[in-house]
Amino acid sequence: MAEEVLLFGAWASPYSHRVEMALKLKGVEYKYVEEDLANKSPSLLKYNPIHKKVPVLVHNGNPIVESQVILEYINETWPGYPLLPKDPYERAIARFWAKFIDDKCLLAIFKASWGEEKEREKAAEEVPEFLNHLENELKEKRFFGGESIGMVDIVANFISFWVGAFEEAFGSELLTREKFPKLTNWTHQFVNNTVVKESLPPRDKLVAYLRNRFGGRNVSK
């Protein structure tokens, strides 16, 4: 039976792009299905009945959902490019940072950009604290994964590209070179990587989309 790999995604979603990056790094052939999140397809609802979200990876008819769960699955299913270190302790550290990025960083960045007033102030204080932890974790490494891109880098894709788009869309300042030199360098390394570049949405289109979708909620300069 020929292998079938489907990816249901949305062009503006960083979560969806994580999966694309991982599949490309592993050299896995897949068919991409663009979802209109305002008008979800019956397939999406069938494959992800609980959350009804993208991304969804369907491998030989089996659906896997939640981007980090999908990344672990991709890593275990296809050999070659390792997304995680071999050593269990180093894997635990990688998973810790991946969880930190999603649970804390991204949440705070969203809230700082378009949360309710009270939430926004608190989040705005948290964002630099959280980014600082990442800055310190990078140390002298080229990527969070070391010499090459790994799962933490992939999960941090939001910080490498979407944050910049946010800053442009809303005139905010989240990631500055002065405060976060290592993270800023990492951003450049990451977005210039050949595989990553292929997976990223066009910047102008993303900025326009963000302004359109979230602009109304943001009451700033």
Partner 1 sequence: MGEVKLLGTRHSPYLHRVIWALKLKGIPYEFIEQDLDNKSPLLLQSNPVHKKIPVLIHGGNPIAESVIILEYIEEKWPQNPLLPSDPYEKAVARFWVKFADEKGLSISKVLQSSGEEQEKARKESLEMLEIIEEHAPGLGQKKFFGGDKIGMVDLTLGRLAHWMGVTEEVTGVKIMEAGKFPRLEAWMKNFKEDPVIKENLPEFKDTLAVMKRHRETLLASK
Among 42, 80, 88, 216, binds partner 1 (CB under 8 A): 88
**Binding of partner 1 by 62 (CB under 8 A):** yes
**Binding of partner 1 by 77 (CB under 8 A):** yes
Name, in order, each residue with C-beta under 8 angstroms of 128's C-beta and a sequence gap of 6 or more: 179
For partner 1, the binding residues in 89-128 under the rule CB under 8 A are 89, 91-93, 95-96, 99-100
Work out how close the CB of 55 gets to partner 1 at its nearest, in angstroms, rounded to a whole number: 13
Work out how close the CB of 192 gets to partner 1 at its nearest, in angstroms, rounded to a whole number: 29
**Backbone dihedral region for residue 196 (phi beyond 0: left; psi -120 to 50: alpha; all else: beta):** alpha
DSSP bridge pairs for 62? 59
Q: How far apart are the first and last CA of the chain?
A: 57
- Residue 62 or residue 194: which is nearer to partner 1 going by CB? 62
**Binding of partner 1 by 59 (CB under 8 A):** yes
Among 66, 159, 169, 183, binds partner 1 (CB under 8 A): 66
- Residue 21 or residue 70: which is nearer to partner 1 going by CB? 70
Binding mask 124-163 for partner 1 (x = CB under 8 A): ---------x------------------------------
**Binding of partner 1 by 192 (CB under 8 A):** no
**Binding of partner 1 by 20 (CB under 8 A):** no
Under rule CB under 8 A, how many of the chain's residues touch partner 1?
24
**Binding of partner 1 by 3 (CB under 8 A):** no
What residues line the site for partner 1 (CB under 8 A)? 49-50, 59, 62, 64-66, 68-70, 72-73, 76-77, 88-89, 91-93, 95-96, 99-100, 133
